[in-house]
Structure 1
Amino acid sequence: MKIRVKPTRLFVNYLISYVGILFIPLIIIGAMVYSNFVNILTEEIITNNLNNLSKVQYVIDGNLTQIEKISNQINLVPKLKSYEMHYHWIKADTIRNTLCHYVTTNKDIDNIFIYYHGDEYLFSSTSSYTFPMFKAIYNYTDWSVEDMYEDIVELKQTQLRPSENVIYNKDHLKKYITLLYPLNRNTSIEGTIIFMIPEESFQSVLKDTINTYRGNSFILDGNNNIVTCLKDSPYLRSNDFTSYLKGITANHYTETVTLDDEKYFLTYVKSSQTDFKYVSMVPIDKVMGKVKHTKYRIFYSLVIILAVGIIVIYYTMHINYTPIKQLKNYAVNLIKPEKQGMNAIEILRSTMDTLTSENNQLSSTIKDNTSAAKDYLLFCLFKGQIDSNEDFNKKGERINLSLTKSCYRAILFKLNGLNTKEKKIYIIEQLHILLNNPFEAFGRELIDENNVIFLLASDDSDIEILQRKLLSIQDFFKEHDLIITIGVGNSYTELNQMPNSYLEACTAIDYRFVKGNDQIIYYNEIVIDSSKFVKPPNDLNKLSVAIKQGNTEQVDQILVNILSYIKDNNPPLFIVKRLCYELINSVTKTMNDINKEYAVPFKRLPHVFSLSEFETVDHLTKIIKRVCINVCSYINDNQEMFTSELANQVVNYVKENYSSCDFSVKSIAQKFNMSVPYLSQFFKNHTNLTIQDYTTSLKIDKAKELLISTKMTINQIAEEVGYYNVTSFIRRFKQLIGTTPGRYRKDYKN
């Protein structure tokens, strides 16, 4: 069947569509960028100006406060009282020494003067002057001698003279801000204190406020007189501007104002401490010049992007149309569409629909398989085939099954009244939901259709939290007319103990015969007098060693001992089950160890779930015995390989532990379940050395290495290699090496 497709029309349509899709968002993005840029810049200017003016206020208020403190201190200095100084030269020298201290410790003060009423002189930190002399040296261009004298003599309260020109020594022009404070003595005014402050001290602080935008910044006093400004702009002397500033009552203020046909950002901060007003004026045109420049750059960038985008889209579509056509042909062969006249996109859409449907079916199958995989992993855990938390998480990684908590227990739920498969699935889902907070819970159904087993993981074994949680679960199921009996096994910190916890949960469930259904039965609350029963034989470690050695007779004897214990002592069923499980687990681990070393596929043993399938313990023991004998036969047939491996294990153990304080031949024998004579002969057969000679060789070699590579003392080295009597160490070292340890170290260095 031929499918008619019009590639040229499709190509052109897509080209126009992509250009439109590209251009319209670019216009919108450009407008948004420009608008946001303007807003952000305006906010930045306002925020920066407010912050900068606040800093200026903080600094200048601090300086004025410091000057006021100096004035107060001068008022309190006893030796500056006029009646204490009877001679002019004494008075001038005392005042000069005192004021000099204040001037040198405050960089913002150029000079300090004191005038006492009725006196002819002004006293300073450098000298004393009559009023004409002072005027000759500090020539205030707008402050005559008569006005100066009158202002100083009649001063009743603090007065500030804004920045003005002062000609110093008839030669140097400088601007000063002058502060006058009354000299108070016992509530009466005795004279005047005069502070000369260079205007540059204030302006150096103001400059930081407007350097970025080339505006103006100035300070007004409480009467709106300009104390100082960075630029002597005409609007500062405008009555309208002065009236505008007087009308501002807020402590912080920002607004756009127009002065002399030019717009400014005006920022205003008023000091509550000094009543000074700090004002900055930023020309908007100069600021927005950056924005206009940015706007043009954005526009040109959009045009360039559009042009490049059209070229790239055209070229890309031209290059990519051939693969699309090939893909279309492949899709036609794959799904064989019935409709004629479909274009490439329609054919691909139809193909995707078909593949999606098949993928959904496959996902459903995978989901079912994932659920089965989770059930299988839990089944392996309760069978004792999982060794650790890491092993469990590694195997469960792909199916999203992992444990992060440190305490584990098994909980068995026996449900009555389940009559459908769907209802059982619903119950298991609800149990997951109810248990998974604050625990980690994973469950699966057992062969008995009324039983569900759960692995419960928690951060600790706090039984009270678990009790409250199980009671709430019981209440939940009562609301659904279901009778549920719960058996709770003990908590363990090792995940490989889950079969034990499972057996305990089963024992607790069986105890419902006494307590009744619809109960929560904890294994540790079942009263069992274990003192009546003889302790089971502790032969399981010996069984593992006997299997690895291929000792069939010892394997047979150990199994006979376990069986005899069960028959002779008649222990409770749960003790028998636990002993059987430990027996199965010990043999299974031994077989797994051998399998890991030599990849020998042994027949799998029964597991904890299959204990109930055996009629008698004899039956179970015979199966275990048959498997063990098969393993022993294999080991005996490969005796050399297994004996060599055991010898390597003993040698490695000696290497790792020879320096330990509790190391001995007896400890090695206990580790590998051998008698001391057998171990000694076994070791010598495979190393041609006794254990003592071998460990002595290791100690001396280690001591030689430490003597050469470290600065440890002889005593420290002796203890490090396992000699706790330094004399014995030195004697043994000299016996084997032919020289003392100290001499050996010295000879090596030389």
Structure 2
Amino acid sequence: MILKLPRYRRRVMTVFNRYLFSFALLLLLPMLFLGMTGYFQLSTIVGDEVERNNQSLLNSLQREVDNKLILMNKIANQITEAPELSPYLLAQADMFSSYQGKKILESKVLDDSIREIILHIRGSETLYTSLSTYRVNDFASQFYHFAQWNAEQFKDDLNHVNTTTLRPAEDVKMEGLPTQRLISYIVPIPIRNQQPYGTVLFELKEDTLLKGLNPDQVLPSGNAIVFDSSGRVISAYKQEDYLKSADLYKQIVDGVDKRYMQEFHDGKYVISTQKSTQSGLTYAIMLPYASVVAPVNQAIVKWMSYLLFIFVIGSVFVYIVMVFNYNPIKKLAALVETFRGHSIHKSNVFEAIGSMINDIADSNRSLGRKLEENRSAVRDHFLGHVLRGEFQTLDDVNERGEEVGVMFPFPDIMVMILELPVSQLFYREPLIAEVERQFGGEAVGHVKSSLEERRAIFIVSWGGNPLERKLWLNELHEHLSKMFDIPITLGIGNGYRELTQVGRSYLEASTAIDYKMIKGNQRVIFFDDLMAHDHADLLNPRRVLDELEIVLQRGEVTQITSCVEHIAMTMKQSGMTLFIAKELCYDMIHKFSTCLEKRRAGSAIDSLPDILTLSDYTTLDEIADVLTTACTTLCLSLDEPKSASPAVMIDQINQYMLQHYSDNDFSVQKIAEHFTLSLSYLSRYYKEQTGRTALEYLKEIRIEQAKRLLGNPNLSVKEIVQQIGYYDVSSFIRTFKGQVGLTPGEYRKQVK
């Protein structure tokens, strides 16, 4: 009988070798990448080092040759100033004058690269040198035999050259001496004189011209070349065949920028060039390419041998790890079959596992996006409740706002409306972002979306005094105007410590904005600077509100309707300003809301117009109609049957929290919406009945569930956070420690 492995195990074994090869390839690819990048980095490092060395050599070469030229020009000036070498004395042609001239010229040979200094008075037939005295016709024909300078040209140059001239090195045969390579430097004297009377000729030994560089040590296999402004080779450390090329200067100098590789007859060279601004000579350093890359090649061999060793060790390690991980993979394969409910024999086991992980990851990403979207929506919704004045205390606001990142640290709350031209709407988001960046210190604010795209509403918690607030707002407006260079208007409502009056501050800010046609549309308009409180004596808002309060306390629908209709009719006839009408309407609707919450627990007030809607009305007739409609809603709610008893209501709320606490977007606001209650009423009602807020009980439920889940060592803190409905891990850890006194990790260790 032949024993067979389980089907999923056979599939694992069939892909084992393939994945082993894949992992080895994955190991090899970065090794190749490291090898290539290491090679290029080493090449760059060595190239930069060669460039620095060549630049140093070029500087030394230029300094060496330029200094010799400067020295010879100084000697020529000294010869001009020496009385013994004046044309008058030398013209005497006596033995004493010749001897004196020779001694002075001999004293001027200050450098061992100068073989001989020759002085010629133009028009004469005599040459005075540091070694002897010659006749002009005999010097270049009998004593010095220049390879490229015949006697006739020699004589002509001595008599007619008017600028300093450097002749290229050439072979010179001298009687009784071996052939030497000499460089001739012709200097007319006086220097820079339009009519020189004589010429000083310096004969320089090429083999000693560059000896100050120590070329035997620094250029054992390279070369150093000096070009004149015409591209001729003046001197070279080594005499090579390529120096005879007519295009050598163009090959080496034209288009060369620092490091450059050029191929000649005998191989490749790395070349660096530099032109002297003093002498006009061009200097070049040539190094054989092979000698430059030799250190790189040695380093590469070592580098690759190390990489090969790492690759072999890594491959062995990969094999051992794969063998060691065989059992977990087998278990995963069985787990995937269990979850999917069917065999995976037709597919690759790793692909099946990966597909399942991808499904989970996609689900998590989708959940994360929804959480962020909901967070933004909940935050804006929460600020809307603040703006409608549905919170009684600052603690209630901060307790609820902590979940969505909204906090008001200071008790003085005001509303600021920012308005920009319709043509500049593309600046809206950057403007909002810049305002939010300016918050801090005494000013902490949050932006609320507005129905008008050209406006942004900011609810600001202010900690300073009113004068400092005005100064800060003016500085903010000046900063925004300079930064964006567009007309920006800020409408500022008064600050209130009663949160129920935040809506009034919004009405004031909106009214201030409406005054831009009078005050100007590029400034800060403070409501308390406006004369907006003038109204007709026919309707006194304070008396109206007192009368309405008495009627509402009685709870008679007929009386309430009659009173509100009378107020609406009188409002139309009073001639009061639009702002006073809006302010009165806002106060009356707030009293309707308070009456509903007191008399009919759980009554819905969402049908009443909120502060944002109220600010859009532009006539007294519209506002009066709003009052009539709100009164109708109030009366209908008062006529509804009484709601469930407090105990039943609290039990229903608790059960709803137990069922939905794990939802990531679940909040006290969701509870209020489910039971058709306002957020402020729910908070106050729940605390009156239980002695704690609904948010405190929701936190308690989540913390207790978290403590239970922390007993499972297979669950990470992040997974627990997701299961109990928190947004992020840091917020959960902070809340958990505040409730339990330990972090989740410390609690888990304590449980163990």
Common topology (TM > 0.5): no
Q: Normalising to structure 1: TM-score of the pair?
A: 0.45
Q: Normalising to structure 2: TM-score of the pair?
A: 0.44
